[in-house]
Amino acid sequence: MKTPKRAHLSLADSPENGPLTGPVEDYLKAIYALGRGSVSVATNDIAAKLDLAPASVSGMVKRLADQGLLTYERYRGVTLTSVGRRAALRTLRRHRVIEAYLSGALNYPWDRVHDEAERLEHAASDELVDRMAAAIGEPATDPHGAPIPSREGHMDETEYLSLAELGAGYGARVVRVSDDDPEMLRYLGELEIMPGAEVVVVSKAPYDGPINLRVSGTLLSIGPALASQVMVEPLADMDAPSH
Amino acid sequence: MKTPKRAHLSLADSPENGPLTGPVEDYLKAIYALGRGSVSVATNDIAAKLDLAPASVSGMVKRLADQGLLTYERYRGVTLTSVGRRAALRTLRRHRVIEAYLSGALNYPWDRVHDEAERLEHAASDELVDRMAAAIGEPATDPHGAPIPSREGHMDETEYLSLAELGAGYGARVVRVSDDDPEMLRYLGELEIMPGAEVVVVSKAPYDGPINLRVSGTLLSIGPALASQVMVEPLADMDAPSH
DNA sequence: GAATAAAGTTAGGCTATCCTAACTTAGGAT
DNA sequence: ATCCTAAGTTAGGATAGCCTAACTTTATTC
């Protein structure tokens, strides 16, 4: 009589205690984003991320702890349990699949998929999300380059360098850009700085000055604040400093 | 200085007072469905339709009246205002476009589109709904044959005969079936009784007995309860009684 | 036209989520 | 070690929806 072990447990069967509400999913998603899943997260940071009063967060995390979604120690922050992490990844998967679908199947511009997905992620069934993913060929990332968790709850957590950290003279491929500022996305789009693009850092002005880039043949210059929102993968030397 | 009159006012610009909540949209939709838009509707009927306690409805309709979405006279029922009607039609459009899209673009079986749409209709933006409609060629009806309100708020309100009312010997084309019972839809699907199908009433047993039909060559028999859920358009005599 | 059943309402409560204002704790600087 | 600030908490309150139980109105029936 061995304890039955599930071979594959899908993200879909997380909610033992009924489905989670929209706000709860938002909290878990925010906590996951802030703590990369296992680090302890400050309640004030959650409040800032969700644009709520800190007091509201104190109240909510208590309830989430009671539901077993996270552990909470007063004045010490919050950590997701494995149940909470699964729920967060499930929401993340929905969000990113929806973004990818809107972009890939319905021609949504990449600066508008985020807000739409933000609402749909709480309403779409697992079946719908799976059908969407299948319809666009099970993409590995969303339109901003963020990895889509698998149905089983795995997600590539590779950390990348930001464009701001890349040394002058180095070439890199853009893998991901931050997705929550439509204005910025539109600007990056104009500059053709998007996942897959190759960039070369031509030079960097000191004291947080502008960074000069070459993107698909064009020279342009961006500030370090923007550059830090662009994650890149350095290219094997092909364009490394020449002396 | 003439008062500016909007030539086309789209369903999209109804919510003057911010977007409506999910429950509010559900109430308006239910009231519209029960009152065909202008007739007075009993609060208990709303309660039954939404599966709520009658007392809850009394409370809610008061708030909806305050918001100008309907008029309410105690003990006398409720009537949508034009603002309320527009909001209801907007939700109806969303619901039916989503159903049509799920069926047409994502291969959803017709017995499962309703529940999914029921949740998505509150979360989808107008832009999304319009893109979905465009993607499947601006269909006039949802998968169950229900007419889709136009972006401007017009909807075909033709009333049809039900299959139960059709006399023996008459032929008809199915235009629409009731959409909220998945079980029933699956059964109707098996029988190939779906919008577009041609049926002939071969005979009807008296005292609410079974109705014998010919559908695409096959003979079958259904009860009057089921037949009353199938709306048809009689065909020009081609199969009328022969004597 | 009075009795009653059916329909509908009010009263009082509950939960989830949010807020502001006032208080407490933790942790670094003196 | 003490003090202060930033971080975080509790207290108290609001709103939207929902419920049950008890009451009132309308409409029907004799």
Buried b (16+ CB within 10 A) or exposed e, B22-56: bebbbbbbbbbebbebeebbbbebbbebbebeeee
In this prediction, residue A79 carries a pLDDT of 97
- Distance, CA of A21 to CA of B203 (rounded, Å): 52
Please answer whether residues B85 and B37 qualify as being in contact, where contact means their C-beta atoms are separated by less than 8 angstroms.
yes
Closest C1' nucleotide to B73's CA: C8
CB A179 under 7 Å to nucleic chain D: no
- Distance, CA of A33 to CA of A84 (rounded, Å): 12
Q: Which three-class secondary structure state does DSSP give residue B40? A: coil
Q: Which of A8-12, A205-209, B62-66 has the lowest mean pLDDT?
A: A8-12
With cut-offs at 50, 70 and 90, classify the pLDDT of residue A127.
very high
Q: For residue A99, what is the nearest residue in chain B, using CA coordinates?
A: B128
Q: Does A128 touch chain B (CB under 8 A)?
A: yes
With cut-offs at 50, 70 and 90, classify the pLDDT of residue A17.
low
In this prediction, residue B8 carries a pLDDT of 57
With cut-offs at 50, 70 and 90, classify the pLDDT of residue A18.
confident
pLDDT, mean of residues A64-76? 96
Q: Are B124 and A124 a contacting pair at CB < 8 A?
A: no
pLDDT at A99 over 90: yes
**Between A and B, how many CB-CB pairs are < 8 A?**
44
In this prediction, residue A238 carries a pLDDT of 53
Contacting residues of A for B131, CB less than 8 Å apart: 106-108
Is the alpha carbon torsion for A203, A206, A208, A209 positive or negative? negative
Q: Are A131 and B124 a contacting pair at CB < 8 A?
A: no
Q: For residue A119, what is the nearest residue in chain B, using CA coordinates?
A: B123
**Cross-chain CB nearest to A120 (options B105, B108, B123):** B123
State how far residue A88 is from chain B, nearest Cα, in angstroms. 20
CA of B208 to C1' of C19 (A): 60
Q: Are A116 and B125 a contacting pair at CB < 8 A?
A: yes
Please answer whether residues A61 and A52 qualify as being in contact, where contact means their C-beta atoms are separated by less than 8 angstroms.
no
**Cross-chain CB nearest to B120 (options A106, A108, A123):** A123
Q: Which three-class secondary structure state does DSSP give residue B155? A: coil
Closest by CA to A85, choosing from A157, A135, A142, A143, is A157
Q: Which of A15-24, A47-56, B43-52, B124-133 has the lowest mean pLDDT?
A: A15-24
Tell me the average pLDDT of chain A: 90
In this prediction, residue B180 carries a pLDDT of 81
Residues of chain B with pLDDT under 70: 1-17, 37, 237-243
Q: Are B105 and A132 a contacting pair at CB < 8 A?
A: no
Residues by Cβ under 7 A, strand C: A 21-24, 26, 50-53, 55-56, 59-60, 63, 75; B 42-45, 54-55, 57-59, 61-62, 72, 74-75, 77
Q: Does B126 touch chain A (CB under 8 A)?
A: no
In this prediction, residue A239 carries a pLDDT of 45
Percent of chain A with pLDDT over 70: 90
In this prediction, residue B243 carries a pLDDT of 43
- Distance, CA of A147 to CA of B17 (rounded, Å): 38
In this prediction, residue B41 carries a pLDDT of 96
Global pTM reads 0.89
In this prediction, residue A8 carries a pLDDT of 58
Instruction: Tell me the per-residue pLDDT of B180-199, one tens digit each, with 9 for 90 and over.
Output: 889 999 999 999 999 999 99
Instruction: Tell me the per-residue pLDDT of A163-195, one tens digit each, with 9 for 90 and over.
Output: 999 989 999 999 999 988 899 999 999 999 999
Instruction: Tell me the per-residue pLDDT of B93-122, one tens digit each, with 9 for 90 and over.
Output: 999 999 999 999 999 999 999 999 999 999
Q: Does A130 touch chain B (CB under 8 A)?
A: no
- Preferred mutation among B25, B107, B111, B116 to probe A, highest tally of A CBs within 10 A: B116
DSSP state of A139: -
